[in-house]
Every structure is written in structure tokens, then in C-alpha cells.
Amino acid sequence: MRTSFLAVASIAALALAFVTVAHGQIFRPVERIPEPTAEDVDPGQERGSADKLPYEFRRQPVFYRSQEPSGTIVVDTSERFLYLIQSPTRAMRYGIGVGRDGFTWTGILRVTRKAEWPDWTPPAEMIARQPYLPRWMAGGPGNPLGAAALYLGATVYRIHGTNAPETIGQAVSSGCFRLVNADVADLYHRVSVGAKVVVRH
């Protein structure tokens, strides 16, 4: 009987380990088969051109069925698209870069803050993995957050711009979602603080 109880307790503990609740908002790491990732660009550098972005990853209105209200953001990490819902059958679609293997997640959050050309303060977890990173960087063209950022819930995750447009469509980030600067600027002006963000795989 004791062995059975311990087994049940262990399963429950493991289940809790995969669910994080922050201020009533839930997100979960995604367990999946590793996929190819792209090399990221170092902070302070700019490379590539958004003009060379493949057509499917360029901002465009699309037919998209959804029961989410207008203004909701739906992120599809496997397809590498972000959808801004405009009606039950229409959305604006943006190509994105997503988290690399081990940094993907799913869940529902809210946009809690918006900033244009934001400063960047890498979180402690990122500094631990990459100790060479700056502890702070002023906003600007070479800043990894790019032209704008939408902050998600009480987490370290953001939807933001990038100084490496060739990484769009790739699994490259530490869990954030990146768009080319022109697209994140467009999204920034269409989305309000408090908007719902649904992240799916």
C-alpha cells in the first residue's frame, strides 16, 4: 500500500513540475522531438535584410477560423506563425522565430506591458547560460528586442523585434517570439495591453 501511495505521489509531483501558474496564468514547457535550430546573432549586431524574408513569412491577411475574440494573438509554434485575430474567419498573419529545443512552451497569457525600442536586461537564467551577455543594453537597432516588445504576463517571455531577420521561421530563441522590426511595429500599434495571447504547438 505504501509503495502504491509513493508512486501516486511521484506522478502528482511530476505533473505539477510541468505546470507553472503565475497570477492565474498558465504556461507549460513542451516535450517534443528536438528540431533543427538556427544560430542566433550576438547582441549589438545587425545582419540580414527583411526584404529577403520568404513570402510565407511576410505579414499578410489570411483566412483563419477562430472562436477567439478580435484582438487576440494566437501563436502557432510548429507552423512559425503569429495570428492577430480580426474576425471569426480573418486574421493578420506574421512569420516568427520561436524557442529552440528545450525552450518551447504553450499556454494562455495576457499582454501586460508594451514598449517601443525597449532596453534589454537579460534575465538571470539567461546570464547563467550565457555569462558573456551584457547585463543591460539600451534600446536601439542593435538591441535584441528590436523595434518593440509586448511583455507576456508575469513571465520573462516577450513578443519582440529582431536584428536578425534571417532567423524568422527558425527555432532559435530562449522562449520569446520574434518578428522582423517592421512587423513587430505593426503588431504593436494593433494590440492593446490586456490582450489575450494563446500559444499553441
Which position among 23, 176, 189, 201 bears the catalytic label? 176
pLDDT at residue 42 above 60?
no
For 64-86, what is each residue's pLDDT tens digit? 999 999 999 999 999 999 999 99
What cell was used for 29? Answer: 514547457
Residue of higher predicted confidence among 177 and 36: 177
pTM over 0.85: no
Say whether 189 is catalytic.
no
Instruction: Evaluate whether 118 touches 162 at the Cβ level (below 8 Å).
Output: no
Beta pairing class for 158-160 and 148-152: antiparallel
What structural domains does the chain harbor? 30-200 (2.40.440.10)
Which position among 23, 160, 189, 201 bears the catalytic label? 160
Whole-angstrom CA distances from 183 to 36, 131, 136 are: 24, 30, 25
DSSP 38: P
Instruction: Evaluate whether 120 touches 137 at the Cβ level (below 8 Å).
Output: yes
